[in-house]
Amino acid sequence: MSITQPLRIMVVDDEPAIVEELAEFLEQLGYGVTACHTTEDALRAFQQDEAIGIVLSDMHMPGLTGVQLMGELARLCRSGRLYETAIFTGSSDKQDVVLALRAGVSDYYQKPVNLDELQAGVKRLQERVEQQMKEQQIRQRIQDLAASLHEMHSDLVPAKPIKTDVQMTTPADVIPEPFDKLSRRQLAVAQLIAKGMTNYQISCELGITENTVKLYVSQILRLTRVHNRTQLALSYPSHA
């Protein structure tokens, strides 16, 4: 789901006229809408379409209530999926609101739904989802960087004239200058660069992340005082 595009909204109500009215209104605002008349359809649609980031549901429907539906969505969705929910109800019983808020529903509307209020509310829900997505992406980048730094920290021992997973073919496995300055893992990366492999291919070959490969490449170029990958491949000793 892209944070630059409007999230898809799922509208759930057993009254077709209400679903049609809300869907038409939201589509005019530029949102994609999934219309559902039963909770069974809603559960199925939510699982099948990861683009759904906002769920608007009636409170009282045959089968599951709106709050029960939200609980089922939370149970069924994959870990890390982000979405926001709101309930609308025709009942004047404040207990509906209390139950919805206790269940983690972000907002509620009284029927008949005020469309101006709905527009403002959907915008708030969209902004919340997009902010959560940005924070999730930042956390993932931090985790990737931490993993890369950990891999590199564990590989600080300078290279010795031994065979790595990628075998050298120079006589007696002697490591010539300036490659003798490289650690074992840096040397393995340099050998694969010389074979013409991409960062992705190297990451698969050595079982490390692509971000880690990029960091190794940067280090290798600095330590060998070579300007780019092409020069590195040309200056590397004969390889198989």
- 116 and 166 in a single domain? The answer is no
On whether both 50 and 85 belong to a single domain, the answer is yes
One domain for residues 111 and 159 = no
Residue 199 lies in a domain: yes
Determine, yes or no, domain membership for 142: no
Residues 168 and 102 in one domain: no
117 and 202 belong to one structural domain: no
Domain with residue 200: its CATH number is 1.10.10.10
Do 163 and 58 belong to one domain? no
In a domain, 47, yes or no: yes
Range of the domain at 168: 155-235
Report cis status (omega within 30 of 0) of the bond before 171.
Answer: no
Last residue of a domain, one of 137, 168, 184: 137
Low pLDDT (below 70) residues in the chain: 1-6, 147-176, 238-240
Let me know whether 13 and 126 are in one domain: yes
pLDDT one-digit tens code per residue, 210-222: 878 888 888 888 8
> How many domains does the chain contain in total?
2
The verdict on 165 and 72 lying in the same domain is no
Q: How far apart are CA 29 and CA 193, in angstroms?
A: 51
DSSP string, 108-144: EEESSPPHHHHHHHHHHHHHHHHHHHHHHHHHHHHHH
pLDDT of amino acid 210 = 80
Looking at the structure, do residues 176 and 122 belong to the same domain, yes or no?
no
pLDDT for 166: 46
What amino acid occupies position 184? R
Q: Which residues contact 42 (CB under 8 A, 6 or more apart)?
A: 10, 12, 36, 55, 57, 69, 73
Q: Is 117 among the domain residues?
A: yes
Residue 1 lies in a domain: no
User: What burial class does residue 167 get, using C-beta atoms within 10 Å of its C-beta: 0-12 exposed, 13-18 middle, 19+ buried?
Assistant: exposed
- Does the residue 26 lie in any domain? yes
DSSP string across 41-71: HHHHHHHH-TTEEEEEEESS-SSS-HHHHHH
Inside any domain, residue 176? yes
In a domain, 56, yes or no: yes
**pLDDT for res 153:** 60
| Shared domain check, 203 and 132 | no
Residue 84, domain CATH: 3.40.50.2300
Cα 63 from Cα 139, distance rounded (Å) = 39
Residue where one domain finishes, among candidates 137, 167, 186: 137
Say if residue 95 is in the same domain as residue 178.
Answer: no
Are 42 and 75 in a shared domain?
A: yes
Q: Tokens 């219309």 map to which residue?
A: 35
